[in-house]
Structure 1
Amino acid sequence: MKSDIEIAQEIELKPIQEIAKKVHLSEDALELYGKYKAKIDTKQLTNDADLGKLVLVTAINPTPAGEGKSTISIGLADGLNQINKNAVIALREPSLGPVMGVKGGATGGGYAQVLPMEDINLHFTGDMHAITTANNALSALIDNHIHQGNQLNIDPRRLIWKRVVDLNDRALRQVVVGLGGPLQGVPREDGFDITVASEIMAVLCLATDIHNLKERLSHILIGYTYQREPVTVGDLKVEGALALLLKDAIKPNLVQTIEGTPAIVHGGPFANIAHGCNSVIATKTALILGDYVVTEAGFGADLGAEKFLDIKVPNLGKAPDAVVIVATIRALKMHGGVAKSELATENVEAVVKGFANLQRHIQNLQQYGLPVVVAINEFVTDTEAEFLQLEALCQEEDVTIRRASVWANGGLGGKALAEAVVEAIETKEANYHRLYDDSLSIEEKVQTIVSKIYGGKAVSFGAKAQTQLKRFAQHGWDKLPVCMAKTQYSFSDNPALLGAPVDFTVTIREFVPKLGAGFIVALTGDVMTMPGLPKQPAALNMDIDENGRATGLF
């Protein structure tokens, strides 16, 4: 069996100008990065054009058995083009953390990939590096301000801004900077997050243009004064410099699928510690260019889709016309209690039990007033009895289910799913409404998410979180939406609770105000903003030969 990279390297890529012509993008709108990548100058687009139909792809809670959300997203877009729909895909950019770690890249798999996968999974067009540089430039400017007299009276003990690096590096979670005497700065505790957890990533992904980017950057909270008053980037007067570093990164990237479907890949916040969606600019660009746009939100629907619908959509100004929930029979059996080593054995009873996880995601998304289609990413170990049972269960929820063999068959394997999605859009009206109103308190918003999306019975706020709630209300920050930082593996904050647990309590240990992004992050459990590498990181399998040909990239 060929690996993803072997399949990708056998494909003869089309010049990116050919891909642009498919969606009537002029060469004046392209900024070329070699033959097969380009940035799009969105100023060249017609902003008053009719927008296409938006399809959001999400999934059940991920398991080690795999779900293949990105693969289905890409195969669905190819499938829509197979049935003569003008489809464009909008995806997140991969982070080097999971690429070099354990999760893998974000370019799909098999014959449903975006290309050139090696470039996209590594440095691509430099967006991640630009965000890293802007983030760390701000850190340097903060420390310099304190060293040079500290006119803003910043309390170094109350700085919340951290440095970042686009790698999983647990040794950098907590550090001390400024050691070595007066000329080296003021000693203080600091730490590193992974780049995709930086608020600058969230700001870039929610900004609508360069003006809005600068405005959002100016609102970023960096810490507090000795009198506990908030200090922002605007107080430092460096939002212009940060925006300058991001002048190219804000432009969306155009690439292609194996079948030549235009793919816009831009922005990449994690969904368990950030809002998990590609940029507003990328999605809006795709909606201008395509009649159907397939986009995805990270991890399970309890994380990425909830944040897409409650945080991104109000900034995008366009709600999905349909939602696809990706699952595999293997993963449902794991949610039903089957060990990974036993997944190849037919077990209809486990499918029924594991369906509880899928069922809750279906019902959650129906709360938003959106048509739902279930996509089963096919595996050779699936049996007809298992699928027929799953189909019957979906029918009871009044939801269409389709199998997709896009990994093996590309767009042809996604045609049935594409037809079902088009039918859902044409026959079922989307009546989108948010889960909560911004006028609610932070506590009420968290409780709403926990009860209506997670199925929990209560929320416990730790001592630090309770203190923060009072201060945030005094500053008027309590009217911002909430971005939950939670394990992706469970509806609860306990990754071991699979399926559809009930009667659990979610504990909020602290909040992080992201005023530039425009939301409050609620930290649960032991979710960390700097992941670590596994015992056998994927990097051990990677190499490059004397001809520059990469190996081991999945």
Structure 2
Amino acid sequence: MSYKSDIEIAREANKKPIQEIGDKLGIPSEHLLPYGHDKAKVSQDFINSVQGNDNGKLILVTAINPTPAGEGKTTTTVGLGDGLNRIGKKAAICIREASLGPCFGMKGGAAGGGYAQVVPMEEMNLHFTGDFHAITTAHNLLSAMIDNHIYWGNELAIDERRVVWRRVLDMNDRALRDTVTSLGGVANGFPRQTGFDITVASEVMAILCLATDLDDLQRRLGDIIVAYTRKKEPITCRDIQADGAMTVLLKDAMQPNLVQTLENNPAFVHGGPFANIAHGCNSVMATTTALKIADYVVTEAGFGADLGAEKFMNIKCRKAGLAPSVVVVVATVRAMKMNGGVAKADLGEENVDAVKKGCPNLGRHIENVKSFGVPVVVAINHFVTDTDAEVQAVKDYVAEQGSEAILCQHWAKGSEGTEELATRVAEIAEGDWANFAPLYADDMPLLEKVETIAKRIYRADEVLADQKIRNQLKEWEEAGYGNLPVCMAKTQYSFTTDPTRRGAPTGHSVPVREVRLSAGAGFVVVICGEIMTMPGLPSKPAAEAIKLNADGDIEGLF
């Protein structure tokens, strides 16, 4: 049996004018700033006008550790939002924008799949409303102004060896990880070693996603530490006088983007920090706005719950004063089999024993999420090759963990396939069973915060950090940054820092390679193992298959 591709389904969507989607949430058309007919930004004036409203219920969708078999977290987020609307709830979806890097690399699109998608799919996966370009430009304006300041006399006495602000590009390009700038003589400035990160790892991205308004945005941008003097005194973006111009570049990007699902339900798509190297959540502006105008808001956190959900709870919820009512953990029978040792080529064959053997990865995530005081439901994202016995094995295992698993067929059936999940999630949310609390207190020392996550979430025995890193963390504590949360940069494929270790390993160590202070965003980035803040392209990039066909339609996005 052949199935339509995601892009074919998206192209056949019966989209409604974006003003009709805004009507569903009570957004007047004059407060929608349209980008074409099917997407718009929501005005700051409207956002200000709803701040007195009560909050709806916040539902987080997360997942097991990703496998090559695919889990379908965004697809489930969209399917659940559609399902809640189907059963008569006023629900909105909040997801992240797609980065061009993985789109042309190996991940493909990031708008859901099958009959649980957000549209317009092509625009969302490419330039969309230009937010990422604005972030890239604002970030690199600061880079240019730092080098320019040094070139024109260095009034701030910046130590050129201690410029910590790198450049960014929204593309996977390993050749730019480590670079030397300003070669070519006196006219080009002073040569120094630096490098590029991908835009979604930029502190400007994190700031845009955590800021509550334009004033907060400019304050946070001003707080960015870009360099140090020879006396190790910090130099900020405000000292360089770049914060005002950066705010101007980001003025429109700060406003949440409104689009729609295939079933014409509202979806906010705004911000896009990666979850393995950044904090992995859509913007606070989008989430808090949605909560003021919808009764249920379904949002996602990137990759497995050990990364995205942990950062959602410990960083986003802590900073924005949010608390989820229920968490949905997405799993697939196929992924359970891969965790149980089955090769990707053999996933189509029934193997109940392998399913059972792979379930501890799911169990670990359930246990971890519950440790935040939030009830958990497992969504089994259905594939046509799943057998009844395999699905039942997952349900039985989850029941043993004190939760419940519900089979979801949204990929093939849209909201019809998530009615049961939506009904149960709404019951739990309305029951107010959650007693949410972050994993650690603000005043815990920074290294202890890292150790708390490593031991309680990753189940590591120890954190390996050399004296230089320990001293750096102590210096930041003495400088007044000890109350910040930590943002772990770690492989998404495993609880460990080894991407090949599946399942639920224990007895491992977490090596910390580097720490970076994001004073504007308000967290400390802890880089573990071999994780890169500038990814590379795979041996056969997805870009090789992306093209325009004879009709002028895009092919190859999936």
Shared fold (TM-score greater than 0.5)? yes
For 1:259, which of 263, 274, 281 is the aligned residue? 263
For 1:22, which of 2, 21, 24 is the aligned residue? 24
- What's the TM-score once normalised by structure 1's chain length? 0.99
How do 1:475-494 and structure 2 match up within 5 A? Answer: 475-494=479-498
How do 1:159-308 and structure 2 match up within 5 A? Answer: 159-308=163-312
* Separation in 2, partners of 1:350, 1:234: 56
* Separation in 1, partners of 2:80, 2:227: 44
What code does the residue aligned with 1:18 have?
E
Question: Which secondary structure does the structure 2 equivalent of 1:476 belong to?
Answer: helix
Q: Work out whether residues 197 and 269 of structure 1, in 8 Å CA contact, stay in contact via their aligned partners in 2.
A: yes
- In the TM superposition, what whole-angstrom CA distance separates every residue of 1:147-180 from its partner, at most 9, and x where no partner exists? 0000111111111111111110111111111112
Question: Which secondary structure does the structure 2 equivalent of 1:402 belong to?
Answer: strand
Q: Work out whether residues 65 and 305 of structure 2, in 8 Å CA contact, stay in contact via their aligned partners in 1.
A: yes
Using the aligned pairs only, state the percent identity: 57
Which runs of no fewer than 5 residues in structure 1 stay unpaired? none
How do 1:106-505 and structure 2 match up within 5 A? Answer: 106-427=110-431, 429-505=433-509
The aligned counterpart of 1:530 is 534
What code does the residue aligned with 1:128 have?
F
What code does the residue aligned with 1:10 have?
E
The aligned counterpart of 1:2 is 4
The aligned counterpart of 1:38 is 40
- In the TM superposition, what whole-angstrom CA distance separates every residue of 1:55-99 from its partner, at most 9, and x where no partner exists? 000000000010000000001100111101111000000000000
Which runs of no fewer than 5 residues in structure 2 stay unpaired? none
What code does the residue aligned with 1:308 have?
F
Shift of 1:545: 3.6
The aligned counterpart of 1:509 is 513
Shift of 1:326: 0.2
Q: Work out whether residues 316 and 322 of structure 2, in 8 Å CA contact, stay in contact via their aligned partners in 1.
A: no
- In the TM superposition, what whole-angstrom CA distance separates every residue of 1:156-207 from its partner, at most 9, and x where no partner exists? 1111111111110111111111112211111111211100000000000000
* Separation in 1, partners of 2:162, 2:30: 47
* Separation in 2, partners of 1:462, 1:330: 40
Shift of 1:428: 5.4
* Separation in 2, partners of 1:501, 1:478: 30
* Separation in 1, partners of 2:448, 2:474: 14
* Separation in 2, partners of 1:209, 1:354: 44
Q: Which runs of 4+ in 1 moved over 4 A?
A: none
* Separation in 1, partners of 2:31, 2:68: 42
Shift of 1:510: 1.4
What code does the residue aligned with 2:279 have?
H
Question: Which secondary structure does the structure 2 equivalent of 1:324 belong to?
Answer: strand
* Separation in 2, partners of 1:463, 1:129: 38
Shift of 1:478: 2.2
* Separation in 1, partners of 2:33, 2:430: 36
* Separation in 2, partners of 1:454, 1:424: 27
What code does the residue aligned with 1:14 have?
K
Q: Work out whether residues 143 and 185 of structure 1, in 8 Å CA contact, stay in contact via their aligned partners in 2.
A: yes
Shift of 1:546: 5.3
Question: Which secondary structure does the structure 2 equivalent of 1:295 belong to?
Answer: strand
Q: Work out whether residues 370 and 430 of structure 1, in 8 Å CA contact, stay in contact via their aligned partners in 2.
A: yes
Shift of 1:234: 1.5
Q: Work out whether residues 377 and 405 of structure 1, in 8 Å CA contact, stay in contact via their aligned partners in 2.
A: yes
Question: Which secondary structure does the structure 2 equivalent of 1:44 belong to?
Answer: helix
Q: Work out whether residues 325 and 362 of structure 1, in 8 Å CA contact, stay in contact via their aligned partners in 2.
A: yes
* Separation in 1, partners of 2:106, 2:450: 30
Shift of 1:42: 3.1
Q: Work out whether residues 468 and 510 of structure 1, in 8 Å CA contact, stay in contact via their aligned partners in 2.
A: no
* Separation in 2, partners of 1:250, 1:547: 35
Shift of 1:306: 0.3
Q: Work out whether residues 100 and 171 of structure 2, in 8 Å CA contact, stay in contact via their aligned partners in 1.
A: yes
The aligned counterpart of 1:83 is 87
* Separation in 2, partners of 1:405, 1:213: 40
The aligned counterpart of 1:59 is 63
For 1:541, which of 542, 545, 548 is the aligned residue? 545
What code does the residue aligned with 2:253 have?
A
Q: Does 1:95 align with 2:115?
A: no
Shift of 1:426: 2.7
Q: Work out whether residues 373 and 424 of structure 1, in 8 Å CA contact, stay in contact via their aligned partners in 2.
A: no
Shift of 1:547: 4.4
Q: Work out whether residues 67 and 377 of structure 1, in 8 Å CA contact, stay in contact via their aligned partners in 2.
A: yes
Shift of 1:237: 2.0
Question: Which secondary structure does the structure 2 equivalent of 1:374 belong to?
Answer: strand
- What's the TM-score once normalised by structure 2's chain length? 0.98
What code does the residue aligned with 1:25 have?
I
Structure 1, 460-469 or 315-324: larger mean CA deviation: 460-469
What code does the residue aligned with 2:534 have?
M
- Number of aligned positions between the proteins: 554
Structure 1, 9-18 or 457-466: larger mean CA deviation: 457-466
* Separation in 2, partners of 1:446, 1:433: 17
What code does the residue aligned with 1:350 have?
A
